[in-house]
Amino acid sequence: MITENAASAHALRSLRLLLEAYASAELPQWELFASNVRLFRLDQGATLFSAGEVHPYLYFVQSGLFKAQLRLPDGRLTTVFFPEEGDFVAPLSAMGAEGIRRVVSRGLHPRADTLRSVVDQQSLHTLIAVEPSLVLRVSFRVVEHLTAQHLQWSRLLGMLALMHATTLQVDVGWLRSTPEQRYRALLAEQPGLVQRVTQRDLAGFLGITDVALSRIAKRVRADEQPPETPSSPATAS
């Protein structure tokens, strides 16, 4: 279930602080932007948006956790990332990708044939709430209007895109490691995430089966056990 409400003053203040940190400047016409922000409450299991939808909105995850799922060529669903508190999420169509579509459709990119099947879709992922969640939503048309008038908003959008690209670059390096190395890295860097998701979703995220994940988790737990202290031999009286 999803319910919609006006965003609270506290939520808008928090969002403004974050966006202005990205922009490294005060954002002009904030009142116009804020008046178009809506708060959505999602129950566990609710779908925020689905793959293939025309969905021109930007979201900020205020609280909760989501799983982004992608359907593989063989029909299976796999979890590709877990948006959580502080993350921005948006379908491709929400980011004003018309320029990208134009370049790809004209064959001006060396990987145009590969990219065409991707950019033709409105949304690549289905986003599902793993737990009760709160998100703030704004139409990309509002952001597009502000970026056309103010350098600060244009810089903000560029920084969000750069953050996304930076995250992808980190993920590429992470994916080159083995599933066990990735699992150990998650335990070290995001232990809370491992506790919040199901074993099936975590296994899909790591690209392995539930059984393989159970074996890895067992090895990791065994490695974390302190070595047994040998008992001292009894002394003769």
**Is residue 66's pLDDT more than 80?**
yes
Whether this prediction's pTM lies above 0.85 is answered by no
The residue type at 184: R
Task: Identify the CA nearest to 103 among candidates 115, 87, 89.
Answer: 115
As a whole number of angstroms, the distance between CA 72 and CA 82 comes to: 17
Q: Are 138 and 75 in contact (CB under 8 A)?
A: no
Catalogue all structural domains in the chain, each as residue range(s) with its CATH number: 2-150 (2.60.120.10)
As a whole number of angstroms, the distance between CA 26 and CA 19 comes to: 9
Per-residue pLDDT tens digits for 83-127: 999 999 887 656 656 677 788 788 888 888 877 766 665 677 899
Q: Are 206 and 179 in contact (CB under 8 A)?
A: yes
Return the half-sphere exposure (C-beta side, CA atoms, 13 A cut-off) of residue 99: 2
